[in-house]
Structures are given as structure tokens and as C-alpha cells.
């Protein structure tokens, strides 16, 4: 399996999800990652259930972001702990941390001091808010950032309450940005010899993740609303009820809609405005009601059969366990078992969703056990 980062050493002081998720990706690419945990451990070790042994053992939350790493305990609030860290940094390429900026400075981990001591060390700092804004001293958790950034305001049913995403997607985005920034900094250092400080604010990762919603608000000055499973700019592009479940239909082109219109027995000569997405968005409620009247009289398989035969993107709405356990090899090949040397068991995990020369990178080490 390709290991393009096998000659780099990463020291990871981060905890919870964004920072660990980024260093797990670097470990999948072959980097050596040393995870340094406080005396009480990464908080996610206790975030459960589920735990591997009902009420004890490794948590699923910790397991999702820490494979490929070696771990040790370090107390940065002691001189001995800081001395141990600085000894590790002598041979490290990257330090990843997610302290608040003032806390990092008190621990001697601010950029200016570290850069003076270790001029080739790249520093990656995951923050709640950027260092150049007035909120910079606030702590940031994914849930708080989803509320603060507007994500909750656009998630949920139109007449329902604001809703968070089902996973900590802000943390995942920030982790991806962090890993990307680290790799860019490594390339820059190899060309110029110059190290860099990377800062990844969760708040700004969330705003960047608003993509077309943010672009629309910037263009019009209007407040985006909640659309449930519908799309604000494309119709039809949502879920529909069938006799035995729900189906998602995504009509991404006018040509696809013309085919769907034949299935619905719609006369587009009488409604020429529906030939273009603009007209379908304008008459959203009327058109969606016509489609749902047809799907409600059909099974999911009947709808999917028509869509597949006519190249219209569609899917059954599946549960997580269904897609993980029943559709490996058909919809994905992401499951990767890791061998746990201490217990002799195989630990199921999800590999990185990139293919390098046809293979999905996945660090061979399982998440490190807790040995305080």
C-alpha cells in the first residue's frame, strides 16, 4: 500500500475529533503519529455508550479517529511534562494542538516561541474561532459552532425547530482542512526550508461548508431558510414517500425531468415552464405534490427500477447499519479489519475514502489502548 508520508513524524496534542481526525488521515498516509494524552486521557475515551465491553473498554467515539497512532501520557502542567514534549519535538515535523490560544501561550506552545526553538517544526492549531477575531478566546465545540455558524438554522423541517447535523460534521471538515494544510506546509518546507503555522478555526470551516447557501446569502442579502430533505435551488431533489419506505430522487438536469414527466403523465406542452429548473422551483409545491401522488402508490423498488432504467439518480433511504453490514462490495469497500495484538481480536474500522493506486489507505495499528 502506498505510504507517501512515511518519512514524517507528527506529535499530536489534540483531543476530541477535529485534530485527531486530521492526524488519523496523516497516519493512513504513512506518517508516524505520537498521540500525547493528558493524565485523564482524551475525553472521548469516556464518551459512550457504545463501549466495546458494554459499559467499559474502548469507546466507539475514540475508535473513530485514532487508529495508526502510538499513545503516551503527558502532563503539560508540569515542568517534566513540558521537557518531555520538547524532547519529542526535536525530531518532529509537525505539532498538532487544539488549545485555546491563550492556553497554548501559557504552556509555551505559541508559534513565536516554538518557531524560535524548533525552526523546522510546523505547527497546526485547531481553534474554535480565529486568532484575529474578537471571539478568539472562546472555546469551540462542534455543537456550539453549528449553532453559531447558521448550520442549525438551515437544518430541519421548514416548520420545525433548528436542528444539528446527525454527526459532528464541523469537526470532520476542520480535520480535513487541517490535514490538507499540514501537507501543503510540508511541501512548502521541502521547497523552501521554511516552516509555517497553520490555524484552523472551526467557525470558519463551518462557514466555508455553507458553500452555495452562503453564496446565495451574499448574493441576495436574504436569510436562508430550512428545507428539510428538499433542495432550495433544484426541483425535484428530495425524498418521497412510497408504500414501503422512502426514496430519494435527484433530478439534476432538464433532460432527466423530461423522462420523469413521462412517468408522471405530465403534459409539458401545457406546462412548458417546467422544462426548465427555474420554473420547477417556482411551482415547487404543485409539482412535488404530483410526484408524491405517484410514489405513494408505488413501492420503493418500482420507483428505483424506473429511475435506474432511465438514468435518474435515486436511492432507497437506508439505515447506517444496513449500508455498513449489507452493502459492502456493492456500494462501498470501506470496511477494514485491524488486528489487535493485545487481545487477539479483529477490530472493524472504516478506511480513508481515497484510492491510491487502487488501494484505500488505512494505518495498520488499531487505536491505542489506555494505559495511564
Determine whether 244 is an active site residue.
no
**Which DSSP symbol is given to 322?**
H
Distances in Å between the Cα of 90 and the Cα atoms of 9, 86, 93 are: 11, 7, 9
Return the ∠ at Cα 316 (arms to 315 and 319), rounded to 5°: 120
Residue 368, C-alpha cell as written in the block = 491505542
d(CA 93, CA 6): 12
Can you say whether the dihedral through the CA atoms of 320, 324, 325, 330 is positive or negative? positive
CB 175 within 8 A of CB 206: no
CB 307 within 8 A of CB 314: yes
Residue 115: phi, psi to the nearest 5?
-65, -35
Q: Give SS3 for 245.
A: strand
Q: Give SS3 for 27.
A: helix
CB 214 within 8 A of CB 221: no
Residue 73: closest CA among 109, 45, 110, 93: 45
Between strands 245-250 and 237-242, the pairing is antiparallel
Select which of 171, 244, 246, 267 is catalytic: 171
Return the ∠ at Cα 155 (arms to 19 and 23), rounded to 5°: 10
d(CA 213, CA 151): 10
Helices and strands per DSSP (H, E), number in the chain: 14, 13
CB 9 within 8 A of CB 34: yes
Active-site residue numbers?
171
Amino acid at each position: 500500500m502506498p505510504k507517501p508520508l512515511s518519512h514524517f513524524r507528527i506529535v499530536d496534542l489534540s483531543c476530541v475529533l477535529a485534530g485527531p481526525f486530521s492526524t488519523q488521515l496523516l497516519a493512513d498516509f504513512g506518517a508516524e503519529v505520537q498521540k500525547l494524552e493528558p493524565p485523564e486521557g482524551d475525553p472521548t475515551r469516556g464518551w459512550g455508550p457504545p463501549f466495546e465491553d458494554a459499559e467499559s473498554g474502548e469507546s466507539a467515539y475514540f475508535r473513530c479517529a485514532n487508529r495508526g497512532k502510538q499513545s503516551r501520557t503527558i502532563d503539560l502542567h508540569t515542568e517534566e511534562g513540558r521537557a518531555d514534549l520538547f524532547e519529542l519535538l526535536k525530531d518532529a515535523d509537525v505539532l498538532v494542538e487544539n488549545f485555546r490560544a491563550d492556553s497554548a501561550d501559557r504552556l509555551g506552545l505559541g508559534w513565536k516561541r516554538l518557531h524560535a526553538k524548533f525552526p523546522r517544526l510546523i505547527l497546526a492549531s485547531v481553534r474554535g474561532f480565529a486568532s484575529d477575531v474578537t471571539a478568539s478566546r472562546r472555546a469551540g465545540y462542534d455543537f456550539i459552532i453549528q449553532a453559531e455558524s447558521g448550520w442549525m438554522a438551515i437544518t430541519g423541517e421548514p416548520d420545525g425547530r433548528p436542528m444539528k447535523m446527525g454527526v459532528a460534521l464541523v469537526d470532520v471538515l476542520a480535520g480535513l482542512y487541517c490535514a490538507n494544510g499540514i501537507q501543503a506546509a510540508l511541501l512548502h518546507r521541502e521547497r523552501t526550508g521554511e516552516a509555517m503555522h497553520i490555524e484552523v478555526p472551526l467557525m470558519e470551516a463551518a462557514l466555508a461548508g455553507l458553500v452555495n447557501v452562503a453564496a446565495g446569502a451574499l448574493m441576495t442579502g436574504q436569510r436562508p431558510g430550512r428545507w428539510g430533505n428538499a433542495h432550495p435551488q433544484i426541483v425535484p431533489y428530495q425524498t418521497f414517500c412510497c408504500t414501503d419506505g422512502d426514496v430519494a430522487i435527484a433530478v439534476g438536469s432538464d433532460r432527466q425531468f423530461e423522462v420523469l414527466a413521462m412517468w408522471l403523465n405530465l403534459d409539458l406542452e401545457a406546462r412548458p415552464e417546467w422544462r426548465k429548473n427555474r420554473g420547477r422551483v417556482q411551482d415547487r409545491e404543485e409539482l412535488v405534490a404530483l410526484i408524491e401522488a405517484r410514489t405513494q402508490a408505488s413501492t420503493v423498488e418500482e420507483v428505483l427500477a424506473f429511475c435506474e432504467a432511465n438514468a435518474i439518480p435515486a436511492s432507497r433511504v437506508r439505515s447506517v447499519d444496513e449500508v455498513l453490514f449489507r452493502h459492502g462490495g456493492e456500494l462501498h469497500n470501506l470496511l477494514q479489519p485491524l488486528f489487535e495484538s493485545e487481545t487477539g481480536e479483529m477490530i472493524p474500522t472504516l478506511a480513508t475514502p481515497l484510492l491510491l493506486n487502487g488501494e484505500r489507505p488505512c494505518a495498520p495499528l488499531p487505536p491505542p489502548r489506555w494505559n495511564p
